[in-house]
Amino acid sequence: MGMDTAWEQRLAGEFGLDPDVLHLNHAGVGPWPTCTVTAIEQFAEDNRRRGSEHFQRWMQTETKLRGQLRALINAESSQDIALMKSTSEALSVVAYGIEWQLGDRIVTASQEFPSNRIVWESLRTRYGVEVVHVDLKGEAEPETAIEAAMADGVRLVALSAVQYADGLRLDLERIGRVCQAQGALFCVDGIQQIGALPFDVRAIGADFVAADGHKWMLAPEGLALFYCRAALRDQLVLRQYGWHMVQHMGDFDSPTWAPADSARRFECGSANNLGIHALSASLGLLLEVGMVRVGGAVLAKTDHLVTALEAAGFEILSDRSDARRSGIVTFRHPQCASETLYQRLQAAGVMCALRGGGVRYSPHFYTPDTVLDRAVDAACRAAHRPDG
């Protein structure tokens, strides 16, 4: 399902990129819609003119955001949602909250982004944890390779829903079922799927999910979603403490305290209210459009790119089978080095990335087809430009 004409007209006023900017880097850092810019401006102006007078209203926006994030990932309750600084911080809460035993095994993928690799590798020296890296490249069914690595027992499986370099989308429901059968914890880095494609935390059986808002969720950097399954909240050892993570956070004079019953226990300090207002506005737009419609449009955009790039002689490095497609298309040219191609595209105003041995394009649901065609034309010119 793509975007119909009425929705395209509705969105035209939300995304005001300059005509010379072809933004195909939502898998990196995405631009903000107009509604988000307006929310930031209004919050800043309110603070300039009224100071903290409306702090209670800010807290209502925080509550609203937790509800929006709950809806976005189909969590059981807003109480399962914590607001963190980044994906890395959320993953670190998991990595250093679990009480590891010598010889515990973690299974992850060799192709993971450093945020979802370094944090687990850091446990080797401190706790004697074994980290098993599964090479997903070239596997017809990468889930089979992951399951094989789990055969000798595993404490935790840590995977990205969509691989950042080539856009490979995993069958998380299948992996989740195996984790449940083996009693393994399942931690998902959802940053390359949430906001681009529908995501259902209950369907996949994830115990933990982390995702920053600055990519497909169309918000500024500095605010991330952290989902923790309710039954596991008490099992994560807290490593950060502060006024915001206690059950009665407004009772400043109490000599006793206890961690919040909700996932707020993982938020040690003051909320990022500016980021909260921005992310809430962005999610308001995504939820208004609906993630089924958003996801259908994203896949239609990447299909459009693949067809045009292949017709122009480029090799597609991304798996484009129905179950593997995502918002990422990585490609290369047989005669032009990918680094050269990337540099030329950047100089031509095409916002893209150098990843996975090729150039990565990642449009969002609102990206006009005319921009996609111009980006393909720019790639053709860059690939065939004479040296010097």
Q: Which residues of 133-168 are buried (b: 16+ CB within 10 A; e: fewer)?
A: bbebeeeeebbebbbebbeeebbbbbbbbbbbbbbb
- At 388 the pLDDT is 44
Cα–Cα nearest to 30, from 355, 288, 362, 374: 362
pLDDT beneath 70, residues of the chain? 1-5, 387-388
- At 42 the pLDDT is 97
- At 138 the pLDDT is 79
- At 387 the pLDDT is 66
Domains of the chain (ranges, CATH numbers): 5-32+291-384 (3.90.1150.10), 40-288 (3.40.640.10)
- At 8 the pLDDT is 74
- At 225 the pLDDT is 98
Mean pLDDT of the chain: 95
pLDDT, tens digit, 9 for 90 and up, residues 251-296:
999 999 999 999 999 999 999 999 999 999 999 999 999 999 999 9
The predicted model scores a pTM of 0.95
pLDDT, tens digit, 9 for 90 and up, residues 65-89:
999 999 999 999 999 999 999 999 9
Handedness of CA 359, 365, 369, 374 (dihedral sign): negative
Cβ atoms of 24 and 379 within 8 Å: the answer is no
pLDDT, tens digit, 9 for 90 and up, residues 104-123:
999 999 999 999 999 999 99
Angle 156-159-160 from CA coordinates, rounded to 5°? 155
